[in-house]
Chains A and B, each alone.
Chain A
Amino acid sequence: MRHACFLTVGPARFRIGSDWRAPIDQLRALYSDYPMDEVVPDFTVRLQATSALRRFVRPQVAIAGDFTLPDAVPLPLHHGLLAAEMAMNLQMALGWRRHLLLHASAVSRQGRAVVMTGVSGAGKSTLSALLAERGWRFLGDEFVLLDPETGNIAPFPRPISLKNAAVAAMEHEIDDDSRFGPVLRDTPKGTIRHLRPRTEWIEQMARETRPGLLLFPRFGFPRAVRRMDEAESFVRLTQASTNYVALGERGFDALTGFVRSVPACAIDYATGDEGAELVERLWSETGAGAGDRAAAA
């Protein structure tokens, strides 16, 4: 590869190579607070031209690397940053075995984490971004890494992928343009802009935390809260995990242990502020108690 950089996010180390300089420069800027030491990587990602001609003429970025999807559609070069992010997600989703991976976001307070999972568009990224600006520690917006041996959550605080209306909402919340990446318009998921986590969350990304509360948020519905039982939580999380089957008995132990250790609720909310307020309220009713006990222990 003509251009390359190394990135460490939480426990995972990536080497990203590219046929073009621009995506690597954008990654270096977006990840400027992260370790970039040239270490032996867990995964290698390549952003490469679909043909020699396509390096120059209407360049198209194809995702390659240790793990790929055969039918992945190439992206135009001006979406190269998105291609790199997608490729890193793909490596984690298909290749990571050290933790049980949940497609979820997470924030923590007092050493206890709120895990929020749901389908794309449920609002888990935006909720985690909002809470992280309001006194919570940001652990990740894409994957929650559950350690099968300890039951702890390993932070994986990638830049937060804001989509469509969430971009303006967070620009309104954070009056600091340096925290944001470039605006990526007309992507397959609409407009995307990445939000850089605060420096302190990146500095603390090796510090694991205990799970305290599990939420299944759903954005765009009238406010509602429903307690969810362990069996339903378990089934939903098997669907939200990318490597549950691959981990076998370790995955079963990790997931059953997780759903039995935390209270769980489905929450519907109409606005980001309402969602954040609901999380705060549920935390004070359930998770905060657990956090206080953990702090006292």
Chain B
Amino acid sequence: MAEPAFAALPGHALKRVTLGGLEAAYHAPSGITHLLAEPLPDLLDALMRLAPGRFATSAEIVSGMSDRFELLADSPDEAPERVVCERLCELAALGLVRMHGQA
């Protein structure tokens, strides 16, 4: 199985507005509004920083984010890459990010 890789949607497909500690995200293709809590906005930001159309694995995303954040899993046995991958898969299931490959 190929390791899943993720990419941001085109800019016009997702509109995001910070509302206090949360973020409202309007998904234009579906017309559905989502309310996102941390760390989902940070993950979307990480994908947005990639070159347009470029896919990255969760390990690459964690590597890029570790410059900005101290990434710690809830459990020491849980790798940050795995947690990030799960969150990104959830975002992909909602259509808020693009995904290649299946875990």
Contact = CB atoms under 8 A, between A and B. Distances in A.
A248 B27 CA distance: 9
Contact of B22 (A231, A245, A248): A231
Contacts of B24: 231, 234, 252, 256
Contact of B19 (A231, A248, A249, A253): A231
A253 B24 CA distance: 10
Interface string A220-263: 00000000011100110010000001001100110010011000
Contacts of A259: 19
B80 to A, nearest CB: 26
Given A238-B33, A252-B15, A252-B33, A231 B20 contact: yes
A88 B26 CA distance: 31
Contact of B17 (A235, A238, A248, A260): A260
B22 A252 contact: no
B74 to A, nearest CB: 23
A256 B20 CA distance: 11
A249 B20 contact: no
A256 B17 contact: yes
B26 A252 contact: yes
The interface residues of chain B, by DSSP majority, are classed as strand
Contact of B31 (A231, A238, A245, A256): A245
Contacts of B28: 248-249
Interface string A165-191: 000000000000000000000000000
Given A231-B24, A249-B26, A260 B33 contact: no
A230 B18 CA distance: 9
B21 interface: yes
Nearest to A259: B19
B35 interface: yes
Closest 6 CB pairs of A and B: A230-B19, A231-B22, A252-B26, A229-B20, A256-B17, A231-B19
Interface of B: 15, 17, 19-22, 24, 26, 28, 31, 33, 35
Interface of A: 229-231, 234-235, 238, 245, 248-249, 252-253, 256, 259-260
13 contacts: A229-B19, A229-B20, A229-B21, A230-B19, A231-B35, A234-B19, A234-B24, A235-B35, A249-B28, A252-B15, A252-B33, A253-B15, A260-B19
Given A252-B24, A252-B33, 13 more contacts: A229-B19, A229-B21, A231-B20, A231-B21, A231-B22, A231-B24, A231-B35, A248-B28, A249-B15, A252-B26, A256-B19, A256-B24, A259-B19
